[in-house]
Amino acid sequence: MRPALKLVVERPLAELIAAPGRHGVLEASGVVAKGSDFFVIFDNVRRIARIDRNLEPGSKKHAWHGAARRGEGYEDIAYSAKRRRFYLLIEAEKHPDGTYKAAIDECNEAGRFLARSWVDVAFEKRNTGFEGLSAVRWRGREYLLALCEGNRCRGGRKGRKPGGGRIHVLQKHGARWKSTARIKLPRRAAFEDYSAVAVRGDRIAVISQQTSRLWLGVLRRRDWTIARPGRVYDFPRTKKGKRRYCTVEGISWLSPSTFVVVSDLTKPDSSARCRKTGQSIHVFGLPRRS
């Protein structure tokens, strides 16, 4: 049997922060840990939420961070300690050249908008672009690792065929981000889709919403490759092996063995066990001997 992650604590996001609008929906799609806070972004609002790490319901330490911007929302969030800014990923929008391309908003630590830049990678469809984002440095230069949602960065049925996980290595050139390399995930990370990526030192974590699993590997920056096949962990399941965490969308390292994860809104026809963990924030740990 595949080893399973251990749940440390979880809370519905509605217990921590007021949802925007009258529908009360918090479609969490990304998270990054910084200092004593978790910074969370959403599919349905272009604004950052600041959640205190204690996850105490009703605490005044939880608050919206910065002003809301027009648009549907963000897919993931990354933070650069060197540049002291947040990067906010927009999955894909219609580009002036007629293709669909991702865009990245940059904000300072106070959440104030600084700039928006296109990513020079074209996608087939608007809703199957980049899904995860992580900031890394190598030899004094800043890079963003942009995770494709679909296998081989494809949409539709071809994108759901496991075994083609891809991460673009982005570098800023003027007013746009260019892909300078592509990281191929090993076949051990053969997921149906890919929803988030996070890096700590040379360790890289990737999660899948549809497969409800976490893959851990070792990243080699010198040639942007994966050093070893890595290990795969299930998110906790029922005794019959059915998924309980069906909408995991964002991940950030807390320590060498713990992670914070957020879950999106579940679909209307989802099972009760899936609905129970949707729109929530969770802390998971690796099982012992990992």
Question: How does the average pLDDT of the chain come out, rounded?
Answer: 94
45-99: per-residue pLDDT in tens? 999 999 999 999 999 999 999 998 888 899 999 999 999 999 999 988 888 888 8
Residue 263: what pLDDT? 98
pLDDT at 187: 94
Its pTM stands at 0.95
Instruction: Give the model confidence (pLDDT) of 214-223 as tens digits.
Output: 999 999 999 9
Kindly write down the DSSP assignment for every residue of the chain, as one continuous string. ---B-EEEEEEEGGGTSPPSTTTT---EEEEEEETTEEEEEESS-EEEEEEETT--TT-TT-EEEEEEESSS--SEEEEETTTTEEEEEEEEEE-TTSSEEEEEEEEETT--EEEEEEEEEEESSTTSSEEEEEEEEETTEEEEEEEESSGGG--HHHHTSSS--EEEEEEEETTEEEEEEEEEPPGGG--S---EEEEETTEEEEEETTTTEEEEEEEETTTTEESS--EEEEPPB-TT--BS---EEEEEEEETTEEEEEE-PPPTT--HHHHHHSSEEEEEEPPTT-
pLDDT of residue 59: 97
